[in-house]
Amino acid sequence: MKLFMASSAHLLLFLNACLLLLPLLPTSGQRSTYIIHMNSSSMPASQPTHHDWYSTILENMSLATPNSTTSGRPQLLHTYHHALTGFAATLTADELRAMEGSSGFIAAYPDLEIKLHTTRTPQFLCLNHDTGLWPSSSYGDGVVIGVIDSGVWSESPSLNDGGMSPAPLWWNGTCELGTRCNWKLIGARSFNVSSSTADGESARDNDGHGTLVASVAAGAPVSGASFFGYANGTAVGMAPRAWISVYEVADGRTLVAFTCNVLAAMDAAIADRVDVISIAMGLTDLVPLYEDPFAIASFSAMKKGIMVVFSAGNDGPSNYTVTNAFPWAITVGGSSVDRRLTGTLTVYGDSFTGVSLYPLSKLLVDLPLVYNATISHCNSSELISQAAAGKIVVCHGLGGIGSMFYQIAAVNASEAAAAVFVTDDALFLEDGEFACPAIALDLDTGEVLLRYLSSLPYPTASMEFQETQVSGFLGPVIAAPAIGTYSSRGPSLISPDVLKPDVVAPGTRILGALANPFAVKSGTSFASAHVAGIAALLQAANYHSWSPAAIRSAMMTTAHQLDNTGDPIKDSATNSEATPLAIGAGHVDPNRALHPGLVYDAGEVDYVSFLCSQGFSQEQIMAIVGVDSYDCSSPSPHLNYPSFIAFFPPQPLWPGPQSFMRTVTNVDTKPAVYRAFVRQPVGFTVSVQPEELVFNATMATNTANFVLTIVQNEEPVTVVSSGSLTWVHEEFTYTVRSPIVVVAERAPAFP
């Protein structure tokens, strides 16, 4: 598992990180950490608490399984009451086998290792002080966002409590020693406990990831914020009046966390009564829903009415890479905003502007510009020094982001004064950092520069840094949003019947709080932080009356699919139109989500019915939904979800028509008529019955049912074909859109 931040400082780590799944059965003398799922109804009456029960089990187990090669006894690390019922402990192979025979035992999950995965976005998302979601929600006042991450830097100006109210009377959270809480930061606890870490560490953020996520979701306004002059402006989170509670689970020194600690944090967040949980991390190696602690814990949160927001992952641009694809949560991909952080190269009056984040204020004037075949790939600091000492060197970056890092390192170790990198690597342009004075030009701009240089015998140039371009403001239009190359794509290997990600939000080059005090980072972590803040605003605006499914539906059905130029949102990896496998329902639109017209609602019963149709055993379903009674007498694959995905394998396996049953709820409560408009996927015919939905004034007729059917007409010409269903209000007050995705492959079967 890893935190989904595509920071360039860790970029090679996240591109190559592999989940270290601890063996199910360690050697007889070796202890490993396991999460033990227990049936609480099996607790003996003689035990006063669950903690006592678990302690007794471990003590008896130690006596029953003596092992001279193992020092010490099983260690009880965490006790879980809300995310699931059970505990985490260190066990040997013999002890684990004995545990499986204990009364009340449901399952054992090996602990999984985790690698650690704004001044413009409020305006880009059209949040303003006069109309829309901000004033309607009182900026998130009365909502608590729980951030499960690497901790918090409580001295950050984004966590100042000016204008905030004290923590509510019902708040159960606490602030541990070592963290300064206030009326903004009302909770801070550390759960960074495992077999390899010491108990009692504070919730202080040594990495910065958690502080940045918290500030993007709900940071207080801070004027004059910037990253060394880049992205200057007023930094403010999506829900600036919401309370924040932070749960530290990741060691900022080693960039490692474990699922047992994350599960303990989720357990505490549920008990503390947060309203929204933000989790910017996920498993790298996929496991079934019934073995995924995040799936189980987020189901428990959903039952309590808590909206859980997950990042989709940074393993794009390939399909089938999305993680956290739980039907009861919201999964968020990352996109760009209409702002560029740049530097400029000027050659005899002609300017070439490229990406830069070089942090120092430096002006280079009339230095020789060097480009030749010997040093064009800039892979030798010695050759660069010989050819370009005290000069600006031009490097042609080919071979991907790994090659770019080597080039930057070579230039930084050389005697060159600065560098210009010409690259076709979209990921570096989205997230590259600069250890030396440099700018990066895309391939088209770079080729213009190289042709120009070939006509000049002894070119000289000047360079400036710390520039910020905003679309249309004394500069060119910057097409946005565009889907980040890093952002993970669907379909989900775990739950392919549900389209994931659900939506996308700003995740590329986002300014947020850090200890110094601001930084610019990229990744789906920050996209999900935006959506967590927007979810808090929607809860506040609707007086906590909407379910998590209704909030997700409102964001999905009002999302937009066009960029600021009026063209379809593009995929940065291909520079072509993005498919719903990358953008889900589209780019989140907070103000439109405030008034969605209709919502696709769902609750615990609906999710259980869906799980019952997925071929899981009774024990597997129990592991997900808990030990409470549930009804599988009417299993249904027709989960009331605001999107549609169907798999049509090629001939001779063409399936017959595929139908989807849905129910929509009129949240406007006024009488209304909606009519269906369908955009057909190429090669398929989509029909909807009925084509008209009528809602009367009474609450008894506040819902309506329909069936959507997909029929294949011809052999698909592409693997992915997409369309949409839009319910349009008779007076065009609302448009309620759902994406339709048809994949010309057999649905994946998880091993």
* Structural domain spans, the chain: 22-111, 115-338+480-596, 341-470, 639-743
Distance CA 597, CA 505 (A): 22
pLDDT confidence of residue 741: 97
Say whether the peptide bond before residue 368 is cis (omega within 30 degrees of 0): no
Query: At 78, is the pLDDT very low, low, confident or very high (cuts 50, 70, 90)?
Result: very high
Query: At 401, is the pLDDT very low, low, confident or very high (cuts 50, 70, 90)?
Result: low
Q: Which two tokens stand for residue 652?
A: 């001779």
Query: At 15, is the pLDDT very low, low, confident or very high (cuts 50, 70, 90)?
Result: very low
Nearest C-alpha neighbor of 478 from the set 678, 338, 306: 338
| CB contact at 8 A, 508 and 117 | no
What is the share, in percent, of the chain residues with pLDDT greater than 90?
66
pLDDT in tens, 128-167: 999 999 999 999 999 999 999 989 999 999 999 999 999 9
Q: Which two tokens stand for residue 267?
A: 């357990």
pLDDT confidence of residue 667: 93
Look at 57-61, 250-254, 370-374, 638-642 and tell me which has the smallest mean pLDDT: 250-254
pLDDT confidence of residue 730: 94
Stretch 490-516: mean pLDDT: 94
Would the pLDDT of 68 be above 70?
no
Look at 170-174, 185-189, 316-320, 475-479 and tell me which has the smallest mean pLDDT: 475-479
Question: Token pair 């509670």 is at which residue?
Answer: 245
Distance CA 144, CA 168 (A): 9
What is the share, in percent, of the chain residues with pLDDT greater than 70?
89
Would the pLDDT of 7 be above 60?
no
Torsions phi, psi of 103, nearest 5?
-65, 130
Q: Does the CA dihedral 66-68-73-75 come out positive or negative? A: negative
pLDDT confidence of residue 597: 96
Four-way CATH pick for 639-743: 3.40.50.300, 2.60.40.2310, 1.10.3720.10, 1.10.10.10:
2.60.40.2310
pLDDT confidence of residue 197: 41
Active-site residue (options: 209, 396, 530, 587): 209
Nearest C-alpha neighbor of 195 from the set 92, 291, 54, 56: 92
Q: Which residues contact 109 (CB under 8 A, 6 or more apart)?
A: 34, 35, 37, 259, 291, 293
Would the pLDDT of 451 be above 80?
yes
Would the pLDDT of 299 be above 80?
yes
CA 101 to chain centre: 38
Q: Which residues contact 179 (CB under 8 A, 6 or more apart)?
A: 152, 154, 185, 188, 202, 203, 204, 246
Distance CA 397, CA 390 (A): 21
Q: b/e per residue, 694-721, with b = 16+ CB within 10 A?
A: ebeeeeeeeebebebebebeeebeeebb
Assess whether 525 carries a catalytic annotation.
Answer: yes
The superfamily (CATH) of domain 115-338+480-596 is: Peptidase S8/S53 domain (3.40.50.200)
Active-site residue (options: 8, 10, 82, 149): 149
Say which amino acid occupies 407: Q
pLDDT confidence of residue 399: 59
Query: What is the pLDDT of the chain when averaged over all its residues?
Result: 88
pLDDT confidence of residue 373: 83
Active-site residue (options: 226, 462, 525, 572): 525
Nearest C-alpha neighbor of 277 from the set 236, 322, 320, 326: 326
Would the pLDDT of 14 be above 50?
no
DSSP 562: B
Stretch 201-225: mean pLDDT: 90
Assess whether 149 carries a catalytic annotation.
Answer: yes
pLDDT confidence of residue 65: 56
pLDDT confidence of residue 117: 45
Q: b/e per residue, 359-393, with b = 16+ CB within 10 A?
A: beeeebeebebbbeeebbbbeebebbbebbeebbb
Q: Which two tokens stand for residue 428?
A: 């570096």
Distance CA 498, CA 489 (A): 13
Separation in Å, CA 160 to CA 139, 141, 222, 738: 15, 15, 9, 39
Highest-scoring range by mean pLDDT, 255-269, 532-546, 702-716: 532-546
Question: Token pair 């609450």 is at which residue?
Answer: 699
| CB contact at 8 A, 274 and 145 | yes
What pTM did the predictor assign?
0.91
Torsions phi, psi of 614, nearest 5?
-95, 5
Stretch 237-261: mean pLDDT: 85
| CB contact at 8 A, 440 and 428 | yes
Residue 418, classed as helix, strand or coil, is strand
Distance CA 670, CA 389 (A): 73
DSSP 717: S
Q: b/e per residue, 139-154, with b = 16+ CB within 10 A?
A: bbbbbbbbbbbbbbbb
Q: Does the CA dihedral 147-148-152-154 come out positive or negative? A: positive
pLDDT confidence of residue 516: 80
> Strand 503-506 relative to strand 339-347: parallel, antiparallel, unpaired?
unpaired
Stretch 254-279: mean pLDDT: 89
Would the pLDDT of 13 be above 60?
no
Stretch 237-254: mean pLDDT: 88
* CATH class of the structural domain 341-470: alpha beta
Torsions phi, psi of 143, nearest 5?
-115, 140
| CB contact at 8 A, 267 and 50 | no
Would the pLDDT of 3 be above 90?
no
Would the pLDDT of 602 be above 90?
yes
Would the pLDDT of 8 be above 70?
no
Distance CA 274, CA 283 (A): 23
Would the pLDDT of 699 be above 70?
no
Q: Which two tokens stand for residue 277?
A: 């949980």
Nearest C-alpha neighbor of 279 from the set 293, 174, 288, 546: 293
pLDDT in tens, 309-367: 999 999 999 999 999 999 999 999 999 999 999 999 999 989 999 999 998 877 899 99
| CB contact at 8 A, 643 and 580 | yes
Query: At 649, is the pLDDT very low, low, confident or very high (cuts 50, 70, 90)?
Result: confident
Q: Which two tokens stand for residue 588?
A: 């989140």
pLDDT confidence of residue 718: 86
> Strand 418-423 relative to strand 438-442: parallel, antiparallel, unpaired?
parallel
pLDDT confidence of residue 360: 82
Distance CA 422, CA 288 (A): 43
Assess whether 209 carries a catalytic annotation.
Answer: yes
| CB contact at 8 A, 312 and 488 | yes
Distance CA 582, CA 579 (A): 6
Residue count of the chain: 751
The two domains 115-338+480-596 and 341-470 share their CATH topology (first three levels equal): no
The superfamily (CATH) of domain 22-111 is: Peptidase S8 propeptide/proteinase inhibitor I9 (3.30.70.80)
pLDDT confidence of residue 66: 56
pLDDT confidence of residue 27: 45
pLDDT confidence of residue 256: 66
pLDDT confidence of residue 184: 97
